[in-house]
Amino acid sequence: MSEKKVATTAVRAGINSDKHHGAVVAPIHLSSTYSLKGFNEKRDFDYSRTGNPTRATFGQAIADLEGGSTGIVTSTGMAAVHLICQLLSVGDKVLIPHDCYGGSYRLFVHLAKRGQFDVLVVDQSDEQALAEALVQKPKLVLIETPSNPLLRLVDIEKIASASKAVGAIVAVDNTFLSPILQQPLSLGADIVFHSTTKYINGHSDVVGGVLVTKTNELGEELAWWANCIGITGPAFDSYLALRGLKTLPLRMAAHQENANSVASYLNKHSAVEIVHFPGLEEHPQHELAKRQQIDFGAMLSFELKGGVEAVKVLFDNLSLFTLAQSLGGVESLISHPSTMTHAGMDIEAQKAAGISQTLVRLSVGIEDIEDILADLEVGLSASQSANVSPLSAPSKQPKFRISAAQAAVW
Ligand SMILES: *Cc1c(COP(=O)(O)O)cnc(C)c1O
């Protein structure tokens, strides 16, 4: 475990590790296989699915930043979630949050349908529901905070200690904040994982994942499974993610500064019904965010007044924000959870999860804040002057219906 400050650990990852040529930056090793020194004389690496120097450097860097022992780099964020599933046997129970990442929800629910384990879907902010689920002694408890897209928080320390009291392994999805802004292992988690596709790589040109364990023992077990099922990440992606990682602390600071300004701007705007951002004092878990997180992050969502037509007008009038899924890249993205990330849920399920059709999610980038705010102003004033009746939305048929085909793909 590194004793250095995070910015130093991020920048120095892999620096001066090349013993052969003295390359300052960790070289990329694309070879799929490695020679033995001689008969039955192995080197550190033998085959790239099992181990690769570039991947090992990146994995160790994230382990150091998270304060864990072992970092396992996977081909995607979902591969990291799937890897955790290897800890479960038939008959075991896994407790997942009702508002976790849609892909995680889909994986757990569908593997449970095939009988690989049983799944308990719980609103973890509901203490009674959580306590009742824990009585069933789950083997694994998954936590994701802040949640997507409503930025709800749950108390990692509290849930981890209650879960461990019944013998569960606790895994936290830390994708939304990165190790720079939240360190779940120090709050009692056994495993922390990321989609490195998001903030860690940060440049929207890699799809990847990483998982860090607190103990060596659990790390060895999961590394064994990662090799066994073949979900380790490619060397090239590790190289790029390691490159992105060096500026992670700087990027997070810039992302956050912009997100704070955007949140207060939206909070005062007459076209906006409500802003969901843990940094706002009126956010229901603002105090928890201050205690549990190192800072508030740069993801936020808001609800527009005036129905789903207002959302369309807003999107049509933005030029800087790109309408796209994903998050955590240097560029600002905007999305409509109801028809995009959460399209797999029918409208009723969306309502139950608190996702309205006027909900808009922002991944605030690191462009100049004046340009970001100017773009939002153009979009919001257009949506306001489009003369959308605020009464039209709830009673009418929704304009953006989720088609059966779309739902089937999910
Ligand atoms: C994107 C994401 C994932 C899945 O990661 P992929 O890299 O897309 O496979 C998991 N959890 C969260 C919170 C995410 O945002």
pLDDT, tens digit (0-9, with 9 covering 90-100), for 99-157: 899 899 999 999 999 999 999 999 999 999 999 999 999 999 999 999 999 999 999 99
pLDDT of residue 123: 95
Phi and psi at 67, nearest 5°, equal 70, 35
Choice from 195, 207, 361 to test ligand 1 binding pocket (greatest atom count within 8 A of CB):
195
Rounded Cα distance, 221 and 202, in Å:
29
Supply 8's token pair. Answer: 């130093």
Residue 273: its H or E element: strand 272-276
Q: How many residues does the chain have?
A: 410
pLDDT digits (tens, 9 = 90+) for 221-263: 999 999 999 999 999 999 999 999 999 999 999 999 999 999 9
Q: Give the right CATH number for 249-409 from 3.30.420.40, 3.90.1150.10, 3.40.50.300, 3.30.1490.190.
A: 3.90.1150.10
One-letter identity of residue 295: D
Q: Is 265 exposed, middle or buried (0-12, 13-18, 19+ CB in 10 A)?
A: middle
CB 239 within 8 A of CB 54: yes
Asked if residue 399 has pLDDT above 60, the reply is no
Ligand 1 centre and the CA of 195: distance in Å? 5
Please name the residues in contact with 141: beta carbons below 8 A apart, sequence gap of 6 or more. 94, 95, 134, 159, 160, 163, 168, 169, 170, 171
CA of 404 to the centre of ligand 1 (A): 24
Interval 250-304: pLDDT, tens: 999 999 999 999 999 999 999 999 999 999 999 999 999 999 999 999 999 999 9
- Categorize the per-residue pLDDT at 394 as very low, low, confident or very high, splitting at 50, 70 and 90: very low
Q: Which residues of 132-147 are buried (b: 16+ CB within 10 A; e: fewer)?
A: ebbeeebbbbbbbbbb
Does residue 123 or residue 397 have the better pLDDT? Answer: 123
- Least Cα distance to 243 among 24, 91, 5 occurs for 24
Distance CA(389)–CA(218), nearest Å, equals: 56
Kindly report the CA angle at 23 between 22 and 27, in degrees rounded to 5? 130
Nearest CA to ligand 1 atom 1: 195
- Which pLDDT score, from 0 to 100, does residue 347 have? 81
> Does domain 6-245 fall into CATH 3.40.640.10?
yes
Q: Which of 353, 375, 352 is nearest to 362 (CA)?
A: 375
**Degrees (nearest 5) of the Cα angle 35, 37, 39?**
100
The protein residue whose alpha carbon is closest to atom 4 in ligand 1 is 77
- Catalytic, 198? Answer yes
Contact 19, 247 (CB under 8 A): no
- Nearest CA among 213, 214, 208, 211 for reference residue 244: 208
- What's the pLDDT tens digit per position in 304-339? 998 899 999 999 999 999 999 999 999 999 999 999
Burial of 403 by CB count in 10 Å (0-12 exposed, 13-18 middle, 19+ buried)?
exposed
- Residues pairing with 83 in the sheet: none
Q: Is the per-residue pLDDT at 397 higher than 70?
A: no
State mean pLDDT over 185-197.
98
Whether 196 shows a pLDDT value over 50: the answer reads yes
Question: Quick one: pLDDT at residue 342?
Answer: 83
Q: Residue holding tokens 């959870």?
A: 337
CA distance 76 to 230: 12
**Closest Cα to atom 6, ligand 1: which residue?**
77
Structure confidence at residue 350 (pLDDT): 82
Burial class (CB in 10 A: 0-12, 13-18, 19+), 359: buried
In this prediction the pTM is: 0.93
Q: Is 101 tagged catalytic?
A: yes
Q: What percent of the chain has pLDDT over 90?
A: 88
Domain spans of the chain, in order of start: 6-245, 249-409
- pLDDT given at position 388: 52
The token duo for 89 is 């046997």
Catalytic residue of the set 55, 198, 214, 243: 198
pLDDT of residue 406: 41
Q: Are the C-beta atoms of 273 and 358 separated by less than 8 Å?
A: yes
- Residue 230 falls in which region: left (phi positive, over 0), alpha (psi -120 to 50) or beta: left
24 Cα–ligand 1 center, Å: 32
The predicted structure's pLDDT at residue 386:
80
Which atom of ligand 1 is found nearest the CA of 148?
Answer: 13
On the question of a cis peptide bond just before residue 149, with omega within 30 degrees of 0, the verdict is: yes
pLDDT at residue 242, as a whole number? 98
CA distance 241 to 113: 34
Q: Within 13 Å of residue 80, how many CA atoms lie on the same side as its CB? A: 29
Alpha-carbon gap, residue 342 to 410, rounded angstroms? 9
3-class secondary structure, 349: helix
Question: How does the average pLDDT of the chain come out, rounded?
Answer: 93
Which atom of ligand 1 is least distant from the CA of 79? 9
Mean pLDDT of 70-94: 98
Q: State yes or no: pLDDT of 409 exceeds 70.
A: no
Fold match, 6-245 / 249-409: no
